[in-house]
A and B are shown apart, each in its own frame.
Chain A
Amino acid sequence: MDKPFAITLDVGSSLANKTGSWRTMRPVYVDRLPPCNNACPAGENIQSWLYHAEGGDYEAAWRALVADNPLPAVMGRVCYHPCEGACNRGKLDDAVGINSVERFLGDEAIKRGWKFDRPAKETGKRVLIVGAGPSGLSAAYHLRRFGHQPTIVEAGPFAGGMMRFGIPKYRLPRDILDAEVQRILDLGIELKLNQKVSKILDTMNEGRFDAAFLAVGAHIAKRAYIPAGSAARMLDAVSVLRGMEGEAKPMLGRRVVVYGGGNTALDVARTAKRLGATEAIIVYRRTREKMPAHDFEVEEALQEGVLIKWLSTIKNMADEGTLTVEKMRLDEKGFPQPTGEFEILEADSLVLALGQDVDLSLLDDVPGLSIENGVVKVGPNMMSGHAGIFAGGDMVPSERTVTVAVGHGKKAARHVDAWLQGTVYSPRPKHEVAAYGKLNTWYYSDASKTVRPVLDLARRTSTFDEVVTGLDETNALFEARRCLSCGNCFECDNCYGVCPDNAVIKLGPGNRFRFNYDYCKGCGICEAECPCGAITMVPETI
């Protein structure tokens, strides 16, 4: 025996003791769906692009972003960001300023001249796209990246659709819009301006198109019958906002009344202020709570001196520039009812902002295609009743926002692509949503939201300069780093650190972790201490 005194056995390692056999519950890594991604109408993978932005790799972040949405600089200005409403950080301090970071990335891309990746292959398939608004541009972009050859036919003199003719300059500067549109066209997409498609099937035949995507915007103003004198100046919101794009600005006068309660009514009132109106009054038949316009836009308008008359309808407009307004009250069901009380408002012009319709005349005589309530009926794959004709944006039943339109464009492009290949596109099933209760928020540093600077009040009511300005690099980085990475591992090493049994194996940067089930006793500390809820415990089959 060559062992030391009193030693009879060799030193053994505890690795011989496979403590994994003690386990009744097993930890498993999961990816849950972040609530922001779940809420995004454009289907952006927000968390993934924030992940790149957090590390300061803005180009990677931008590339992850534009995989879903080709218009980040536009989106960072006009999107109503439902993502931020869903953001789990909102329950902790303030929601992450996703929209601000998106805008920063979009602006950075324009500044640095980043271009889209070229398609990997060419299919030679031709797709007709009617309308160069957000939905049409988005569809064209995605189809082009699939290798197809889209051609956009646009009735107006410029691309952009409602982004140009519906959204005022102080919310979306035109150089930004032009830059993002041009980058899409640079992928090799043909754009034909000033050409109205009057018969869709004829245009498809003449151009030998394999499929079509219809994305005509809602440009026709809805009317209300208001008795008016022959000299009364009554306009509609669409033509006022459209007129802002031309050389001759609309003549609205010093006292402007806008009728309606949507975002468009606010846009017109704020535009009137900037054109020099001393008074811009919105007349709306219900209350502020019932107003369809977004609260922050109402707030910005009120700050700029726009007046709003709640619970009022317009009865008539006389020649000498006076309006008769009737007071309303809400009944038990919340509908406005007349009270018989009238008042007189002085107005040089009245602008009606009562909603818009889509011109569907190009679809007359298309077999199989059906129209309900002024919009095209489409299936879950965005295809109309006529095979090969798809539709999206304002043309189909849904909320009419730029973001929804962009989302439709992407969704339709995927289905068109599948249809052209004779297959069916079926999206991957969604993961379970990463609810706030799944997080361990102890681990996140306290940091409230970086508020974007708002243009000085006096300057904003007199000019069409952009009202909300962007974040700079340092605070955009700060904002991106506020992301909690809900439901998806961001390699914080907590599980690797907190395991009392060394049963978590770190696989190195970008490769996450693996459980060593030979030794994992199933205590569950890793799940409890995972900040972002990317671990779940499942029962062992014993």
Chain B
Amino acid sequence: MEMQPVKFYQTGTFTVGNRLLAEQERSVQANMDRTNSINSGHRACQGCGEALGARYAIDAAMRAARNQLIAANATGCLEVFSTPYPETSWQIPWIHSLFGNTAAVASGIAAAMRVKGRRHVRVIAQGGDGGTTDIGFGCLSGMFERNDDVLYICYDNEAYMNTGVQRSSATPAAARTATTPAVGHDPGNVFGQGKNVPLIAMAHGIPYVATASVANLRDLERKVTFAMGIDGARYIHIHVPCPLGWGSLPADTIKIARLAVESGLFPLFEAEHGEITGRTKIRHKVPVEDYLRLQKRFAHLFGDPPERARLALIQAVAERNIARFGLL
């Protein structure tokens, strides 16, 4: 048997950086010269998961594109807190679109670049779950169907946070929002079938679809970098907790995102041309309650007595994800 060299790095690749790793194996975020695409002074709330997710993703995309990048940004929190005219936090070429048409605007930019012969300039469209899964859904589907050369990134905080926490089609079952109050015999959001946009994107057979989480930087950066390396329509869906809308502590943003992954409620996977090609395994499985308890939007489930039946339904969603995507 051949000897295996020792490959143990104390914190492995779970931390952002690691002085023991070779330079090229370190994350983009560990780099002193990272772009800081979205700079200090933005008006996002304390502990904003979306501001963090956007910097993770766009910094990685900037490195992959050698800084030749244009981003179109749907209306939503990300646009509002980053760019109150005439100030902006963006340190990249960036254009604000309407709430619903950012996929179309990005498609147009990609077409313009092609016509001008500047194929090396890459195009990203980004928006929240409202602008992606509800309002911009038609434009998004069209972009997929035409296989336009755009990477679309959805920052999913599971409701319309910018306008005061109204439900979106990405809001999970039982969650309290301004439009799904925790009253009556079916408190919070309905237990429907949900609207799983990553799976819908896969159904278009586009070259690449992935989910990612702010709790797993290495995984996120790897997926963005991979997506930037291929042409055609690509979609990455990033889970970004919202302390304001979810009623969680600002300091718990990453912890909550991690528990969503570890419970199985937010599966991390990737797919090429409609087929699942990879999944990120759960490291230490936790019950969904660990995730739900930290958020006031689910507080009504933990009254006296707790809503056992509903908790069991949510647990069943997690178990289905685990079985379906092979997360254990």
Interface residues of A (CB under 8 A from B): 9-19, 22, 54-55, 442-445, 447, 474-475, 477-478, 481-483, 485, 490-494, 496-503, 506, 508-509, 516, 518-519, 521-525, 527-529, 531
Contacts and interface: CB of A to CB of B under 8 A. Distances in A.
A12 B89 CA distance: 9
Interface stretch (B34-42, B62-70, B227-235, B305-313): B34-42
B304 interface: no
Contacts of A12: 86-88
Contact of A496 (B16, B41, B88, B89): B16
A477 B5 CA distance: 11
A524 B249 CA distance: 9
Interface in B210-254: 217, 243, 249-254
B29 A500 contact: no
B44 interface: yes
7 contacts: A14-B82, A445-B14, A481-B10, A485-B10, A492-B15, A493-B29, A502-B55
A483 B11 CA distance: 9
Interface in B1-58: 5-6, 8-12, 14-20, 26-27, 29-30, 32, 36, 38-44, 46-49, 51-52, 55
B254 A529 contact: yes
Contacts of A447: 8
A509 B17 CA distance: 11
Given A12-B88, A13-B87, A508-B32, A492 B8 contact: no
B22 to A, nearest CB: 13
A445 B11 contact: yes
B46 A13 contact: no
Contacts of B41: 13-19, 519
Interface string B79-114: 000100111110000000000000000000000000
Contact of A443 (B11, B46, B55, B86): B11
Nearest to A497: B16
A443 B20 contact: no
B30 A493 contact: yes
Interface of B: 5-6, 8-12, 14-20, 26-27, 29-30, 32, 36, 38-44, 46-49, 51-52, 55, 82, 85-89, 217, 243, 249-255, 258
A509 B19 contact: yes
A54 B18 CA distance: 12
B8 A496 contact: no
A357 B41 CA distance: 71
A347 to B, nearest CB: 50
Nearest to B32: A506
- Point out which of B26, B27, B32, B47 has the most chain A C-beta atoms below 10 A from its C-beta: B47
B40 A502 contact: yes
B88 A11 contact: yes
**8 cross-chain pairs, A with B, having the tightest CB-CB distances, nearest first:** A493-B17, A497-B16, A524-B251, A14-B41, A445-B12, A523-B47, A519-B40, A9-B86
A16 B11 CA distance: 37
Given A445-B10, A483-B10, A525-B254, A516 B47 contact: no
A496 B29 contact: yes
A474 B8 CA distance: 10
A481 B30 contact: no
A488 B255 CA distance: 21
Contacts of B46: 22, 521-523
- Point out which of B29, B40, B52, B254 has the most chain A C-beta atoms below 10 A from its C-beta: B40
A359 B243 CA distance: 70
Contacts of A508: 32
Nearest to A516: B40
B15 A531 contact: yes
Contact of B17 (A11, A15, A491, A518): A491
A527 B251 contact: yes
B11 A14 contact: no
Given A13-B41, A477-B6, A523-B46, 15 more contacts: A16-B41, A17-B41, A18-B41, A445-B10, A482-B8, A494-B15, A496-B29, A497-B16, A497-B27, A498-B254, A500-B51, A500-B253, A519-B40, A523-B47, A524-B249
B254 A492 contact: no
